[in-house]
Amino acid sequence: MDKLVIEGGVPLSGEIAVSGSKNSALPALAACLLTAEPVTLHRIPLVRDIRTMLDLIGHIIGSKDADISTDGGRVTICAGRIEHPEAPYELVKTMRASSLVLGPLVGRCGHARVSLPGGCAIGARPINLHVSGLERLGAEVRQEHGYIQAQAPHGLQGANVQFDRITVTGTEDLLMAAVLARGETVIENAAREPEVADLAALLTAMGAKIEGAGTSTIRVQGVAKLYGTEHTIIPDRIEAGTFLIAGALTRGDLTVRGCVPEHLRALIAKLQQAGVEVTEPAPDILRVRVPGKLKNVDITTEEHPGFATDLQAQFMALMTQAAGISFITETIFENRFMHAQELARMGANIRLEGRQAIVAGPTPLSGAQVIASDLRASASLVLAGLAAQGETVIDRVYHIDRGYEKIESKLAGVGARIRRVSV
Ligand code: EPU
């Protein structure tokens, strides 16, 4: 199992590039199942979750080499036929986003069998809202042997769907089901994440009729058929945000290139309140510096455009170096503070009270052996390691490999002393 070894205390400086968004690429790959024609996607980040999704799509279309080709960040999928309209447990248990194939498979084939995901480190994460949305479109859904079995032998019928709570992949799943349904579907209380809008842009390029993606009401007019196209995935706002926080935490001078500042407004505002200077030297570039002391700031995670839960752990690492008490409230997932104990082992003063973490800073961080528990928790440990005195060894690095492309070479390129060791 790989470990990351970090010799901390070096301010990051220079320019670091952002990859394509993992959470946009995953539904985009699933959307390729909606047409028999080839779809080419650019800027796909080659991270572990993407490889899992490619394995899943390969299984579904019974892939020969010609059906899926990858060339760096360019992936072409031609789902000419659907051999196995199912997501088996072995793949779903390693990546919950596998449930994103449910909507497209029912939409295209009229039936699908998708394993229930089971437990997850950061919270229960059920898919009941995906299922009830499909039922509103006329699918008959049964749960059997740990699988969701959905049938719509005569096709899906557009309907009004009001989500009980905002769900990102639930909105995406239903959007992909609705594009081939008969008539109009209206999704209310839809997720407004940029990844939903990116998926809608891809589906529109494939011939779908969608209005309102990126707002809380999405209208879809079903079409009979979708076509092949090319699409470039948006930059990864969470990776960009992680780098911005890394620059601030190491008191460096870091330029993050190839990002969309508009997707990062909530983080930028909180960084500025914390005393970080954030500038936009070009429309796709952000630069961070810390002219004085870091100040305490409270954050509450929310759906977009609020503060992203996927940046909470990294921001907590930053607050360990801010003067005063910061209250960090997690509202999206019920168990997303597992990094707190590991940060404490490095010297942080953090008290957990239910959904709130209370961070008292600044406390010097010192390198330690720590364990990554999930993707964003591991990112926060990398950040803490970069700021700590001495050596940090992070175990279970496979979590970070799920979502960060070439993390150690990118960080080394801006001065970090970080290396991977295989043991
Ligand atoms: N929820 C339900 N029922 C459902 C679906 C969701 O109760 O059917 C609950 C969840 O348990 C959670 C809340 O609703 O408490 C929001 O979950 P959501 O469905 O929005 O999360 P997701 O779609 O499973 C995506 C990202 C996550 C990110 C969340 C929140 C992808 C592939 N994953 O997950 O990304 O944290 O939205 O923004 O897009 C990550 O990249 O590290 C990651 C976990």
State pLDDT tens for residues 74-110: 999 999 999 999 999 998 888 989 999 999 999 999 9
Would you say the CB of residue 169 lies under 6 angstroms from ligand 1? yes
State pLDDT tens for residues 14-24: 999 999 999 99
Q: What's the whole-number mean pLDDT along residues 284-310?
A: 98
In one-letter notation, the amino acid at residue 106 is V
Quote the ligand 1 centre to 124 CA distance (angstroms): 10
Query: What is the dihedral angle through the alpha carbons of 299, 305, 309, 311, rounded to the nearest 10 degrees?
Result: -80
- Which of 54-68, 208-222, 305-319 shows the lowest mean pLDDT across its residues? 54-68
From 125, 166, 171, 192, the mutation candidate for ligand 1 (largest count of ligand atoms within 8 A of CB) is: 125
Residue 139 has pLDDT above 90, yes or no: yes
Sorted by where each starts, the structural domains of the chain and their CATH numbers stand as: 2-18+235-422 (3.65.10.10), 22-232 (3.65.10.10)
- Considering the chain, what is the average pLDDT of its residues? 96
State pLDDT tens for residues 323-365: 999 999 999 999 899 999 999 999 999 999 999 999 999 999 9
pLDDT of residue 123: 77
Quote the ligand 1 centre to 33 CA distance (angstroms): 22
pLDDT of residue 66: 65
Q: What is the pTM of this model?
A: 0.97
Atom index in ligand 1 nearest the CA of residue 49 equals: 32
- The residue among 67, 66, 17 whose CA lies nearest residue 45 is 17
Residue 423 has pLDDT above 90, yes or no: no
Q: Which residues have CB under 8 Å from 65's CB, separation 6+?
A: none
Would you say the CB of residue 35 lies under 6 angstroms from ligand 1? no
Would you say the CB of residue 23 lies under 6 angstroms from ligand 1? yes
Taking the mean position of all CA atoms in its chain, how far away is CA 126? 17
Would you say the CB of residue 167 lies under 6 angstroms from ligand 1? yes
Taking the mean position of all CA atoms in its chain, how far away is CA 383? 18
Residue 279 has pLDDT above 90, yes or no: yes
pLDDT of residue 106: 98
Catalytic residue among 32, 78, 109, 120: 120
Quote the ligand 1 centre to 170 CA distance (angstroms): 8
For residue 13, the cross-strand partners are 253
* Proportion of the chain above pLDDT 70, given as a percent: 99
Task: List the structure tokens of 407.
Answer: 């993390």
Residue 385: Cβ within 10 Å count = 28
Would you say the CB of residue 98 lies under 6 angstroms from ligand 1? no
Residue 119 has pLDDT above 70, yes or no: no
Q: Is 120 a catalytic residue?
A: yes
Atom index in ligand 1 nearest the CA of residue 191 equals: 20
Rounded CA-CA distance 328/304 in Å is 17
Task: List the structure tokens of 201.
Answer: 């842009």
Omega within 30 of 0 (cis) for the link into 261: no
Q: Give kind and range of the element (H or E) at residue 270.
A: helix 265-273
CA angle at residue 419 from 415 to 421, to 5 degrees?
Answer: 180
Omega within 30 of 0 (cis) for the link into 362: yes
Residue 315 has pLDDT above 90, yes or no: yes
State pLDDT tens for residues 153-178: 999 999 999 999 999 999 999 999 99
Quote the ligand 1 centre to 28 CA distance (angstroms): 16
Residue 65 has pLDDT above 80, yes or no: no
Would you say the CB of residue 376 lies under 6 angstroms from ligand 1? yes
